[in-house]
């Protein structure tokens, strides 16, 4: 008993800290057993992977495109083949991008993003794989970010690949250039995000799959885990031996497979866990670098 209580693992979390965490979790309304288990799992992880979906960014005020009130509930998304074939569809695409850009411009990372960055700095997570295109993981200090759906932070020519900051192209659209084209080759410009009908980025998919197989801890955060590859990456991680944790506001189809399931606010949950783990270790909490 004494050995257990006094023992600190190499990451510096002790049983006393877990007890303190349980008290903290009780105060914040989290389920004690889940939060305590999560802290223990995170403190011991060396090849952890965070997999994030829209749910982490809704806490930064960004709407989930697919949800009621989201951009796709007002107008259907532009399919990639229609974007290529039709100037009218490209104009419709850019009209929606302008709206999305205004929303993204003011969004800042929340405690959920900051916690993931802190856990990477601490050595418990090796990467974050995200379905989000908002760049908020990078803003919060995450270093290895695999973007499965591309990024809204870059606009590129679909033919020659020349890139622009989105601000410049949005300004052109707002000034009346409805479907902007490349000034080098004349091909259409498009946000460097993956549209419906467009192939997923092969390199990012391979990297995400390989991280899933090598992970000792897999945190699926803010994703409904319904559409591919969100539905299969956590399953692969679990099959290859990772402990699977799901943190999402609503139940997911993979809840029964997971070792820990938390249906609470992502930011509050991760802040409680990381603050405690951080105090137990090098004092590195949620402050950016």
Q: Is 182 in the site for Zn ion (CB under 5 A)?
A: yes
**Of 9-17, 80-88, 121-129, 177-185, which part binds Zn ion (CB under 5 A)?**
177-185
Q: What spatial distance separates the first Cα and last Cα of the chain, rounded to whole Å?
A: 38
- The correct pick among 32, 184, 282, 288 for binding Zn ion (CB under 5 A) is 184
Q: What's the min distance (Å) between Cβ of 157 and Zn ion?
A: 3
Nearer to Zn ion, 135 or 150 (CB): 150
In what helix (H) or strand (E) does residue 233 lie, and over which residues does it extend?
helix 233-239
Nearer Cβ to Zn ion, position 20 or 187?
Answer: 187
Whether 222 and 248 have beta carbons less than 8 Å apart is answered as yes
CB neighbours of 160 closer than 8 A, spacing ≥ 6? 182, 184, 185, 187
In the complex, least distance from residue 184 CB atom to Zn ion, rounded to whole angstroms: 5
Q: Output the smallest distance, CB 164 to Zn ion, in A.
A: 10
CB of 165 or CB of 251, closer to Zn ion? 165
Closest to 134 (Cα-Cα) out of 114, 110, 117, 151: 151
Which residues, numbered 147-176, are part of the site for Zn ion (CB under 5 A)?
A: 157, 159-160, 162
Could you give the CA distance from residue 63 to residue 266 in angstroms, rounded to a whole number? Answer: 15
Active site residues: 149
Measured from the CB atom, is 187 or 235 closer to Zn ion?
187
Interface of this chain with Zn ion, residues 46 to 85, rule: CB under 5 A: none
DSSP three-state, residue 220:
strand
Whether 269 contacts 276, CB under 8 Å: no
**Where does this chain bind Zn ion (CB under 5 A)?**
157, 159-160, 162, 182, 184-185, 187
């Amino acid at each position: 008993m004494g050995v257990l209580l006094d023992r600190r693992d190499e990451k510096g979390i002790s049983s006393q800290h877990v007890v303190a965490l349980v008290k903290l979790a009780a105060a914040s309304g989290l389920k004690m057993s889940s939060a305590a288990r999560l802290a223990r799992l995170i403190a011991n992880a060396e090849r952890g992977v965070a997999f994030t979906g829209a749910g982490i960014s809704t806490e930064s005020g960004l709407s989930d495109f697919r949800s009621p009130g989201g951009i796709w509930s007002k107008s259907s998304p532009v399919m990639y083949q229609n974007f290529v074939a039709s100037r009218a569809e490209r104009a419709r695409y850019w009209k929606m991008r302008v709206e999305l850009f205004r929303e993204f411009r003011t969004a800042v990372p929340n405690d959920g993003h900051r916690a993931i960055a802190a856990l990477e700095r601490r050595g418990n997570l090796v990467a974050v794989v995200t379905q989000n295109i908002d760049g908020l993981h990078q803003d919060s200090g995450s270093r290895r970010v695999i973007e499965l759906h591309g990024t809204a932070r870059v606009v590129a020519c679909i033919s020659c690949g020349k890139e622009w900051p989105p601000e410049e192209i949005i300004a052109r659209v707002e000034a009346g250039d409805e479907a902007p084209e490349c000034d080098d080759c004349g091909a259409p410009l498009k946000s460097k995000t993956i549209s419906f009908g467009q192939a997923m980025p092969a390199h990012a998919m391979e990297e995400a799959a390989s991280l899933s197989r090598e992970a000792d801890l897999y945190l699926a955060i803010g994703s409904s885990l319904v559409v591919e590859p969100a539905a299969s990456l956590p399953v692969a991680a679990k099959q290859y031996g990772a402990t699977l944790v799901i943190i999402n506001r609503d139940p997911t189809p993979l809840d029964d497979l997971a070792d820990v399931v938390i249906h609470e606010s992502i930011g509050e949950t991760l802040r409680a866990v990381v603050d405690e783990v951080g105090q137990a270790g090098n004092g590195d909490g949620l402050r950016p670098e």
